[in-house]
Chain A
Amino acid sequence: MSDQAYIDQGPLIPRNRAAHPVPYDPDYKTSVPRSPNQPLLSMESTLSEETGPRFGHSMLGPLDNNLILNYSKDAAKPAVGERILMHGRVLDEMGRPVPHTLVEIWQANAGGRYRHVKDGYLAPLDPNFGGCGRTLTDENGCYEFLTIRPGAYPWPNRGNDWRPMHIHISVFGHSFGQRLITQMYFEGDPLIERCPIAATVKSRSQLDRLVAPLDMAKARPLDFLAYKFDIVLRGRRQTMFENRMEGL
């Protein structure tokens, strides 16, 4: 038996599944055998979802959020490609910043090739590009990565499907139930409209939230362009009626 007292920070707000992609979408063929058929079991969150791993600055290296240099680790050997700053804020549904949370990204190189044992695309590997990075948000929930714009790439699905340029993003938040992996697309890419993975998000306004706008306010002249990508994680219900006092 547990002798632990319940530490109540309020339950997570139930997930609005309509804001997310549909699990089953025949145009994204792999989702057909990989989507559960039975409904999910919905319940109020418990400690297992309301707590979660926390990560500190001590695990981060100085180049972890610089994908242009974090593979070669040599300023004279930068990755090939269009230099960009990817930045934004992590907030929760109540609009509060999510500080000190781990954000991880991964992406293809400028030619559309991943440095992964399973990727055999024609485009060559860049000897100076690994393709992963990580950082912690600051006290305001802000994060930044310096990277190169990834190339589009073809993938086996329908006869001629291509992924739009995209960066994969993983965010922890402060509780395991907030865990989210998504993808950032780039303003103006004509492949977004043709992508069956992007199209698993059925709400147009929600899909738009995955498209990062060009942000010239953060672009550095003669150096890099910038794209802004804000991320909203689940929030918690906090009302004055959550904690029932003893005897009430």
Chain B
Amino acid sequence: MVQKLDTLVETPSQTAGPYVHIGCIPSFAGLEGVYPEDLGLRAIEDGAEGEVITITGSIYDGTGWAMRDAMFESWQADASGRFAGQQGADPKVNGFCRFAADKDTGEFTLTTVKPGATPTRAGGQQAPHIALWIVARGINIGLQTRIYFEDEDNSADPLLARIEQRNRVETLVAKKTGEGQYRFDIYLQGAQETVFLDL
């Protein structure tokens, strides 16, 4: 026998289910009047520094169906690479946003500022990116992924460098479709399966 470790084990996840909206974004789901407004309604306030961008996309299940019930949370740095709560961070950047797939089309939209590069523990840089967390019915533990940008220099990003199949790097890179407009589609399965993260 050995001494017993006193570290605890994380509580297991369970699916957020089909009604996640009433807990997290109740007004979106027709449950009005409990809170003044849904949490995480805006990633930025008016006057945030940097380029305001809109990212549009869908999340597809293994059959190619754009899921109508997924909910997303994003977390990101401001235009100079500072996260909300850090010294000098832009007070107009909340950094956090909650949004959902449209219940008729499955499309989601995130309006925010393009984040700056952020430092790494090893003294390097991470390319500008937005962390994304995805929950839905049928997803038993929230999926982590990232949105990078095709018009940024992603060549030295340590996470992208870890992807062995270089063709899969593209799954994390939003495509520019216009001035300040990007497209980011997520595939849960198949040849285009998005790289999901465990960090």
Contacts and interface: CB of A to CB of B under 8 A. Distances in A.
Which of A7, A42, A53 has the most chain B CB atoms inside 10 A of its CB? A53
Nearest to A201: B12
Chain B interface SS verdict (over half): loop
B119 A47 contact: yes
Interface residues of B, number: 87
A182 B17 CA distance: 10
Contacts of A201: 12, 14
B189 interface: yes
Contact of A170 (B10, B23, B29): B23
Contacts of A61: 35-36
B7 A93 contact: yes
Interface string B11-39: 11111111111111010011101111001
Contacts of B133: 176, 179
B30 A116 contact: yes
Contacts of B140: 20-23, 25, 28, 31, 35, 200
Interface stretch (B44-52, B79-87, B175-183): B79-87
A35 B196 contact: no
B137 interface: yes
A168 interface: yes
Contacts of A31: 15, 138-140
A175 to B, nearest CB: 9
B113 interface: no
A136 interface: no
Interface in A119-164: 119, 130-134
Main secondary structure of the interface of A (DSSP, over half): loop
B61 A33 contact: yes
A57 interface: no
Nearest to A92: B8
B32 to A, nearest CB: 9
A22 B140 CA distance: 7
A206 B9 CA distance: 9
Nearest to B125: A2
B9 A41 contact: no
A30 B140 CA distance: 10
A4 interface: yes
B75 interface: yes
A210 B14 contact: yes
B126 interface: yes
A115 B30 CA distance: 8
8 contacts: A16-B10, A35-B188, A48-B76, A53-B95, A105-B23, A130-B34, A182-B14, A209-B9
Interface of A: 1-8, 11-12, 14-17, 19-23, 25, 28, 30-38, 40-49, 51-55, 59, 61, 64, 70-71, 73, 91-95, 102, 104-106, 114-119, 130-134, 168, 170, 176-177, 179-183, 197-198, 200-201, 203, 206-207, 209-210, 230-235
Interface of B: 6-24, 26, 29-31, 33-36, 39-40, 61-63, 65, 67, 69, 73, 75-77, 80-86, 94-96, 103, 116-121, 123, 125-126, 129, 131, 133, 135-144, 146, 158-159, 162-163, 188-190, 193-199
Given A35-B140, A53-B84, A132-B35, 18 more contacts: A2-B116, A4-B118, A5-B119, A15-B198, A31-B15, A33-B61, A42-B199, A47-B77, A51-B84, A53-B75, A53-B96, A54-B84, A64-B34, A93-B10, A130-B34, A134-B39, A170-B23, A180-B13
